[in-house]
Amino acid sequence: MSDPNKKSIEDLLKMLALGESLTPSQEKQMKDYKFWKTQPVPSLDETITKEGPIDVLKTPEDVPSEPLPLIKEFEWCNIDIQNNEQLDELYKLLYDNYVEDTDATFRFKYSHEFFKWALMPPNWQQDWHTGVRVKETGKLVAFIAATPVTIKLNKSGTVIDCVEINFLCIHKKLRNKRLAPIMIKEITRRVNKQNIWQALYTGGSILPTPLATCRYQHRPINWSKLHDVGFSHLPANQTKAGMLAHYALPNKTNIQGLREMEEKDVKDVLKLLTEYQERFDIVQLFTEEEFKHWLLGNADANANNANNAKTKTNSFGDKLNSNVIKTYVVENSEGKITDFFSYYLLPFTVLENTHHDELGIAYLFYYATDAEGDRYKPRLNDLINDALITSKQYNVDVFNCLTSQDNTYFLKNCKFGSGDGFLNYYLFNYKTFPMSGGIDKQTKLVIDDETSGVGVVLL
């Protein structure tokens, strides 16, 4: 029988979403958003009739040069991601404060390599890694990051240079003191100073106003371990052996020509993705340099892993294999890249469990195929099934994705299940037509075999 005190995968997923969906009685109205109602974002009840920017009147010269004032005990700082001590400070802030886990049984296990990958893509800026310290002690108590990203809205063909905002975190002791609006206004100032006026961000909380909402999906890889740590319960009328058999995966991948992506593939894979992404409403555009970073990892961080025994080299002696991002391509017999998939790894530390101290988690990232028509759905299913199989070698215990991209074409066959967590997508200072996000607006159930509109993947 299932133990009601144990966490279910749904709880895990809810936690990953960093927020929960609100019941209608808990929903705030626009007037209740004291901060957000002052910002250039669509209102909650607004029907979008035309896409476009909201506030267009400013130039960088109109933007103040000085940081926003903080109360006198605190000061602004930049976190130097290349400095290991400062990375450790960021790690500690996020470890203790980023995720609300009431039982304190698990935490995100960020590595230096993960931070470098997430925060140092080409054209990253030092002063977009914004922290707040206590003046007297120097203790880091808050953080927010912006990274450069180019977005394309396919319906209108509009390309927007914007930033992605992530890792907003305030120390638990400083919560509910209206520091978040100051952090957001300060990062807005720093980004605006660089003549950038739009931002993309996601969150579990409902704010004015999501352009799409996606639902978390999870696929157990190591069911018995998930059960051991209390993440999966045994459904009624099922046996452990039955669950193991249900989720069992072979050790060998199925698709012929599947191999790890190498640097020489960057151009071809980018072309494949760019063409594939035309099916979505909102997509990320990449330069080759950016694509290399996001799909093969941060060169500096990978180099730092040179002593790592797991690090492999290819036949040219190039260092392969970031420990964070895994990308595989399918090369056909004529040497053409026909498909690819990628996922990133961000494990949990498991606390106070006698058998396990870590839980391996993979998150689906970008993928594409040139298969069309009747071949499309079976091909996506084969690709993702191979992604699941490859993930076993990296000790992945659960493979997660959202209902974004065209994921609803494979969720069922590949044995993903819906979690309770939802992820809302937002654009700052831009109105877009709403997108389905792969779920029914009312029932929140997955809409099978229909594109979500959301082609962009945020960490």
Half-sphere exposure of 301 (CA within 13 A, CB side): 26
Residue 30 touches ligand MYA, criterion: CB under 6 A = no
Near ligand MYA by CB under 6 A: residue from 9, 79, 191, 350: 191
Q: What gap in Å lies between CA 427 and CA 425, rounded to an integer? A: 7
Of 207, 234, 244, 459, catalytic? 459
- For CA atoms 106, 111, 115, 118, give the dihedral sign: negative
Residue 92 touches ligand MYA, criterion: CB under 6 A = no
Q: State the minimum distance, in angstroms, from the CB of residue 179 to ligand MYA.
A: 4
Residue 17 touches ligand MYA, criterion: CB under 6 A = no
Task: Say what angle helices 288-296 and 266-276 make with each other, to 10 degrees.
Answer: 100
Interface stretch with ligand MYA, choices 179-187, 306-314, 353-361, 402-410 (CB under 6 A)? 179-187
Residue 452 touches ligand MYA, criterion: CB under 6 A = no
Q: What gap in Å lies between CA 45 and CA 208, rounded to an integer? A: 9
Residue 222 touches ligand MYA, criterion: CB under 6 A = no
Interface stretch with ligand MYA, choices 34-42, 61-69, 133-141, 222-230 (CB under 6 A)? 34-42
Which is closer to ligand MYA, CB of 188 or CB of 391? 188
At 164, give phi and psi (nearest 5°): -105, 130
Residue 90 touches ligand MYA, criterion: CB under 6 A = no
- Ordered DSSP codes for 350-396: EPS-SS-SEE-EEEEEEEEE---GGGHHHHHHHHHHHHHHHHGGGT-
Near ligand MYA by CB under 6 A: residue from 42, 148, 203, 455: 203
Near ligand MYA by CB under 6 A: residue from 74, 98, 276, 344: 98
Q: Taking the CA atoms of the chain, what radius of gyration do you get in angstroms? A: 22
- Ordered DSSP codes for 150-173: EEEETTTTEEEEEEEEEEEEE-GG
Q: Is residue 43 exposed (0-12), middle (13-18) or buried (19+ Cβ within 10 Å)?
A: middle
Near ligand MYA by CB under 6 A: residue from 17, 44, 132, 169: 169
Residue 240 touches ligand MYA, criterion: CB under 6 A = no
Near ligand MYA by CB under 6 A: residue from 53, 181, 257, 417: 181
- Residue 459 annotated as catalytic: yes
Angle at 133 between CA 130 and CA 137, to 5 degrees: 155
Interface stretch with ligand MYA, choices 45-53, 190-198, 298-306, 393-401 (CB under 6 A)? 190-198
Q: What gap in Å lies between CA 86 and CA 28, rounded to an integer? A: 37
Residue 151 touches ligand MYA, criterion: CB under 6 A = no
Near ligand MYA by CB under 6 A: residue from 50, 72, 173, 178: 178
Q: Are 231 and 7 in contact (CB under 8 A)?
A: yes
Q: Are 146 and 93 in contact (CB under 8 A)?
A: no
Which is closer to ligand MYA, CB of 203 or CB of 360? 203
Interface stretch with ligand MYA, choices 2-10, 187-195, 394-402, 413-421 (CB under 6 A)? 187-195
Instruction: Detail the DSSP E strand segments found in 126-255.
Output: 129-134, 140-153, 158-170, 199-203, 212-220
Q: In which order are the strands placed within the sheet that holds 348-350?
A: 106-108, 348-350, 358-359
Near ligand MYA by CB under 6 A: residue from 13, 16, 153, 199: 199
Residue 79 touches ligand MYA, criterion: CB under 6 A = no
Residue 205 touches ligand MYA, criterion: CB under 6 A = yes
Near ligand MYA by CB under 6 A: residue from 177, 246, 336, 375: 177
Residue 184 touches ligand MYA, criterion: CB under 6 A = yes
Residues 387-446 that bind ligand MYA (CB under 6 A): 428-429
Which is closer to ligand MYA, CB of 165 or CB of 282? 165
Q: What gap in Å lies between CA 276 and CA 272, rounded to an integer? A: 6
Q: What gap in Å lies between CA 90 and CA 234, rounded to an integer? A: 37
CA distances from 109 to 168, 324, 392 (A): 17, 12, 18
Near ligand MYA by CB under 6 A: residue from 108, 201, 366, 367: 201
Q: State the minimum distance, in angstroms, from the CB of residue 168 to ligand MYA.
A: 3
3-class SS at 295? Answer: helix
Which is closer to ligand MYA, CB of 69 or CB of 242? 69
# residues contacting ligand MYA (CB under 6 A): 36
Enumerate binding residues for ligand MYA (CB under 6 A).
18, 33-36, 97-98, 163, 165-170, 175-181, 184, 187-188, 191-192, 196-199, 201, 203, 205, 207, 428-429
Give me the active site residues, please.
Answer: 459
